Amino acid sequence: MENVYVTIGLEVHCQLLTRAKMFCRCSTDYIGKTPNTLVCPVCMGLPGALPVLNRKALELAIKTALALQCEILPEVVFHRKNYFYPDLPKGYQISQYDFPIGVRGVLEFALQGVKKRVRIRRVHVEEDAGKLVHEGPDLRGAVSGVDFNRAGIPLVEIVTEPDLRSPEEAKECLVMLRSIVRYLGVSDGNMEEGSLRCDANVSVSLSPEIPGTKVEIKNMNSFRSVFRALSYEVERQTELLRAGKTPVQETRHWDEARQVTVPSRGKEEAEDYRYFPDPDLLPFRILPEMLQEIRATIPELPLQKKERFMREYELPEPEAYILAQDRDLAEFFEACVREFPSPRAVCNFILTEVLKNLNSLNISIRESKVTPSMLAELLKMVERKEIGISLAKGIFEEMFRTGMGARDVMLKKGISFLTSERDLEKVVREVIEKNPQSVADYLRGKEKALHFLIGQVMRVTKGQASPEVVKNLLLRELSGGE
């Protein structure tokens, strides 16, 4: 089977975390709000209304461009992108054209430990459109409404060069991009809620010399659907090529329900957006001092953090990479290590137990009831051998569920924290010595005898020991010691 050469480029839009919209003072907090309640003459595009730039939006976009190592152009010029659509109140979108905020940047990430590098073509800022809402029995008989709450929210658009070579790479690249915008605090990067959107250009060729046909994929609403849509598309184009056909240059939609890409209807004749500088907005000159100020607000980014974690805490690269991807998780880790300076143990516990529990509730570390101190406390108890690691895992689950500290969980569950394993061992040995008959019974295969022995230990410890720990200790002793 011959080789397949895949070329992928991404076009990513992130809603910027400004309090007010890009050109008016309406709130951007639109999720779950009644349609058309966060609007004004400006974002509704009423006759006579004029845009006034929200500087914060510009600053956040510049911050993004700087973090992606872009060259920043000295002057920001806004252009009008003219097209008709009901969700576009002015009949044009205020965007940028030949003078974006940043050009020629770089994004680095890793895929299965291998370093990857994708060039960033441009970073620009533009306004979001409204949202069509369809109601009714089916699409034909439906009533369509427009909600302008979202219209005018600032977006940063990040366009990569077609440097990605597989759907896996594309997905990892997107994950890193989201990680960066979250680190910067410029966007919450939530694909499901639409605050991060991704379109992709895919082409496949059977020879490295011959470029493939560019197909644009839209409507991918999660990281998984990005991966699946691209995989599907690569396969579809490969099959066409192997059958001696050429893919059509077109825009295709990812159909999540059917897990296929389908050609988009309409709007296919090449659109002419008639870009021209918006005469309602003056060009904005970016002074070096402004750049300096913004640069100073850029925090340590994921890859730098990963390097530091490897250096400072001697974490292995894969673990450091995963921790550093999520700024909150990384900060949780560091806070925990400050109180319990055993980075490997903390890292392992976070990457297994903490992530498992977070995933099962589908929440982020920010929403977790367990604080870094609480986890440190638990791990200290493990280190002091007060509890075993498997018990610790159970206790953590309970802490996670209830928000109680480790000791409170043990109290509630009747697990003694007064009785350390070492003390317990003594009791266990005594019980074994005092009950030779039961020991003999057990060794002959009578399970019931073990329960009797456990009961004896529990009696001596007044029920404060963990039955499981006791059982384990007994088994260890009975099987011949350490």
* CA dist 202 → 17, 172, 466 (Å): 30, 16, 58
Query: How many residues in the shown chain lie near another protein by CB under 8 A?
Result: 28
Give, as ranges, the residues between 109 and 148 that touch another protein (CB under 8 A): 146
Q: Is 150 in the site for another protein (CB under 8 A)?
A: no
- CB 83 → another protein: shortest distance, Å? 8
Q: Is 418 in the site for another protein (CB under 8 A)?
A: no
Q: Is 50 in the site for another protein (CB under 8 A)?
A: yes
- CB 34 → another protein: shortest distance, Å? 17
Q: Are 319 and 113 in contact (CB under 8 A)?
A: no
Nearer to another protein, 41 or 211 (CB): 41
Candidate list 13, 63, 90, 305; residue touching another protein; CB under 8 A: 90
Q: Is 41 in the site for another protein (CB under 8 A)?
A: yes
Q: Is 154 in the site for another protein (CB under 8 A)?
A: no
3-class DSSP assignment, residue 119: strand
- 26 Cβ contact list (under 8 Å, min separation 6): 20, 38, 39, 40, 42, 43, 152
Nearer to another protein, 280 or 300 (CB): 280
- CB 90 → another protein: shortest distance, Å? 5
Nearer to another protein, 26 or 378 (CB): 26
Q: Are 402 and 409 in contact (CB under 8 A)?
A: yes
- Alpha-carbon gap, residue 123 to 9, rounded angstroms: 14
Candidate list 276, 287, 446, 462; residue touching another protein; CB under 8 A: 276
Q: Are 441 and 449 in contact (CB under 8 A)?
A: yes
Nearer to another protein, 115 or 140 (CB): 140
Q: Is 52 in the site for another protein (CB under 8 A)?
A: yes
- CB 293 → another protein: shortest distance, Å? 22
Q: Is 53 in the site for another protein (CB under 8 A)?
A: yes
- Alpha-carbon gap, residue 11 to 249, rounded angstroms: 17
- Alpha-carbon gap, residue 84 to 87, rounded angstroms: 9
- CB 272 → another protein: shortest distance, Å? 5
Closest to 125 measured CA to CA, from 156, 98, 151, 90: 156
Q: Is 274 in the site for another protein (CB under 8 A)?
A: yes
93 φ/ψ angles, rounded to the nearest 5 degrees: -105, 135
Candidate list 3, 32, 84, 115; residue touching another protein; CB under 8 A: 84
Task: Spell out the long-range contacts of 112-119 with Cβ–Cβ below 8 A and sequence spacing 24 or more.
Answer: 113/317, 113/318, 113/321, 116/169, 116/172, 116/173, 117/163, 118/160, 118/161, 118/163, 118/164, 118/173, 119/160, 119/161, 119/163
Q: Is 48 in the site for another protein (CB under 8 A)?
A: yes
Residue 144 sits at the vertex; the CA angle it makes with 140 and 148, to the nearest 5 degrees, is 155
3-class DSSP assignment, residue 432: helix
User: Which range binds another protein by CB under 8 A, 80-88, 120-128, 196-204, 245-253?
Assistant: 80-88
Q: Is 31 in the site for another protein (CB under 8 A)?
A: no
- CB 20 → another protein: shortest distance, Å? 13
Q: Is 440 in the site for another protein (CB under 8 A)?
A: no
Q: Is 16 in the site for another protein (CB under 8 A)?
A: no
Candidate list 2, 209, 272, 289; residue touching another protein; CB under 8 A: 272
- Alpha-carbon gap, residue 53 to 45, rounded angstroms: 15
Two structure tokens written together for 377 = 């406390």
Q: Is 211 in the site for another protein (CB under 8 A)?
A: no
- CB 197 → another protein: shortest distance, Å? 23
DSSP state of 27: B
Q: Is 178 in the site for another protein (CB under 8 A)?
A: no
Nearer to another protein, 282 or 389 (CB): 282
Q: What is the DSSP pairing of strand 71-72 with strand 215-220?
A: unpaired
Helix (H) or strand (E) holding 287: none
Footprint on this chain of another protein (rule: CB under 8 A): 41, 44-53, 80, 82, 84, 86, 89-92, 146, 272, 274-276, 279-282
